[in-house]
A and B are shown apart, each in its own frame.
Chain A
Amino acid sequence: MDAFFSVFQLNVLIPWLLAMVLGIFVGGIPGLTATMAVALIVPLTYHMQPVAGLAMIIGVSFTSIFAGDIPATFLRVPGTPASGAAVLDGYQMNLKGQGSLAVTLDLICSTIGGTIGILMLILVAPTLSRFALKFTHFEYFWLGVLGLSMSAIISKGSRLKGSISMIIGVLISTIGIDVTTGYPRFAKGNIQLMGGIEFIPIMIGLFGISEVFRSIYTMQNMKVPVFNEEIKVSFKSLGKILNRNKRLIAQSSVIGTLIGALPGAGADIAAWVSYGLAKRTSKKPDDFGNGSEEGVIAPTSANNAAIGGTWIPALVFGIPGDTITAIVLGAMMMYGLKPGPLVFEGERFLVNQIFSVGLVSQVFLLVLGYLGIKSFSLIFKFPRNVILAGIMIFSMVGSYAIRNNIFDVGVVLVFGIVGFAMERAAMPLAPLILGRILGPMIEENLRIGLIKTSGSFAAFLNRPISFTLFLILVVMFLWDPIKKIVVTARARAKKQ
Chain B
Amino acid sequence: MKKTFNQEHIIGIICISIGTVVLSLTRSFPGGTGAINISGPAFFPNILSMILIGLGVLQILNGIFGKEEDIASAAAIWKGMKSAEFVNLLIMTALFIFFILAVEFLGFITTSAIFLAAVNWRLGIRLVRNLIYTAVFIIIIYLVFSIIFKVTLPRGIIF
A: which residues have CB within 8 A of B? 25, 29, 32, 36, 40, 158, 160-161, 163-164, 167-168, 170-171, 174, 178, 180-181, 183, 185-186, 212-213, 216-219, 222-223, 385-386, 388-390, 392-394, 396-397, 400-401, 404, 406, 409-410, 413, 416-417, 420-421, 424-427, 443, 446-447, 450-451, 455
Contacts and interface: CB of A to CB of B under 8 A. Distances in A.
A183 B151 contact: no
B88 A216 contact: yes
A222 B39 CA distance: 54
B124 A222 contact: yes
Given A400-B151, A413-B97, A424-B76, 18 more contacts: A25-B144, A160-B59, A160-B62, A167-B48, A168-B18, A174-B44, A181-B30, A181-B40, A216-B92, A216-B122, A218-B85, A389-B120, A392-B96, A396-B99, A410-B100, A424-B77, A446-B44, A447-B43
Chain B interface, DSSP helix/strand/loop, else mixed: helix
Contact of A183 (B29, B108, B115): B29
A164 B115 contact: no
B145 interface: yes
A427 B11 contact: yes
A213 B81 CA distance: 13
B41 A389 contact: no
Interface in B100-124: 100, 103-104, 108, 112, 115-116, 119-120, 122-124
Query: Top 4 A-B pairs ranked by shortest CB distance?
Result: A385-B123, A178-B41, A183-B41, A401-B151
A185 B116 CA distance: 36
Interface of B: 7, 10-11, 15, 18, 22, 25-26, 29-30, 38-41, 43-45, 48-49, 51-52, 55-56, 58-59, 62, 70, 72, 76-77, 81, 85-86, 88-89, 92-93, 96-97, 99-100, 103-104, 108, 112, 115-116, 119-120, 122-125, 133, 137, 141, 144-145, 148-154
Contact of A406 (B70, B86, B103): B103
A220 B6 CA distance: 29
Contact of B125 (A385, A393, A443): A385
Contacts of B11: 161, 164, 425, 427
